[in-house]
Amino acid sequence: MLHAENLTKSYPLPGKRQVDVLNISHFAMNAGERVALVGPSGSGKSTLLQLIAGILRPTSGTIRLLDRQLERLSEAELDRFRAQHIGYVFQNFNLLPGFTALENVLAAMQFGKTVPPKAQKQRAGELLTQVGLEHRLHHKPGQLSGGEQQRVSIARALANRPALVLADEPTASLDQANAEQVFSLLAEACEQNGTALLLCTHDPELAGRLDRVVSLRELSIYDTREVG
């Protein structure tokens, strides 16, 4: 479902300089596959997730996701494609602060337009129940703990039944008990729904629990089996 070929990303620096962050000859994921992305700080994990989400444009190379060539889509098409087919979970939750848990999940469905309007409220309630928040539907992010906020953001990421969830260190700002719960919820929800998952983490134990681990080093991506 995902094929990246000859993918490079450089960020411009002041003057004529640039910083080369990625140079990936090939990276692919199968439908429903759950992959952990590891690598040192600054190795380009967040950059790669943003390229796959179409938030950033590559410097060169191609990304084919669900039979779309992302480089051929306009910004507006990318926004729509992302809303419908990709769920994104951030380290710092990124919920809408003025909206309740239920409204945050609903907003994603209103934007994604994959769930009929009449069914959206029920689905939002079901998703929040699935992540254990049936008693917190009407709380705003500021009234929720970090672990609870991240569970709302998992519900939001799954709202449009995306083919792919991208999760950028989703457990890094949580204590160990919450990190464990949030990780399990995300990994299991993706498995049950046949949703592919690409998750960045610094935690080797969590990484090892997914189907495959890839690592970024010196601009390239390696299957950990190849590194040995």
Q: Please give the residue ranges that form the binding site for Mg ion (CB under 5 A).
A: 45-46
Minimum CB distance to Mg ion smaller for 34 or for 45: 45
Q: Which of 6, 42, 122, 194 binds ligand ATP (CB under 6 A)?
A: 42
What is the spatial distance between Cα 56 and Cα 48, in angstroms, rounded to a whole number? 9
DSSP for 64-89 reads EETTEEGGGS-HHHHHHHHHHHEEEE
Contacts of 127 (CB under 8 A, 6+ apart): 105, 155, 158, 159
Binding mask 5-34 for ligand ATP (x = CB under 6 A): ------x-------x-x-------------
By CB under 6 A, name the one of 33, 44, 86, 106 that touches ligand ATP. 44
Q: Looking at 37-45, 62-70, 94-102, 181-189, which segment touches ligand ATP (CB under 6 A)? A: 37-45
Positions 80 through 99 that interact with ligand ATP (CB under 6 A) = none
φ/ψ of 68, rounded to 5, equals: -110, 140
Calculate the alpha carbon distances from 185 to 15, 127, 130, 193, 203 in Å.
46, 11, 9, 12, 16
CB of 46 to Mg ion, least distance (A): 3
Q: Per CB under 6 A, does 46 bind ligand ATP? A: yes
Considering beta carbons, is residue 52 or 124 the nearer one to Mg ion? 52
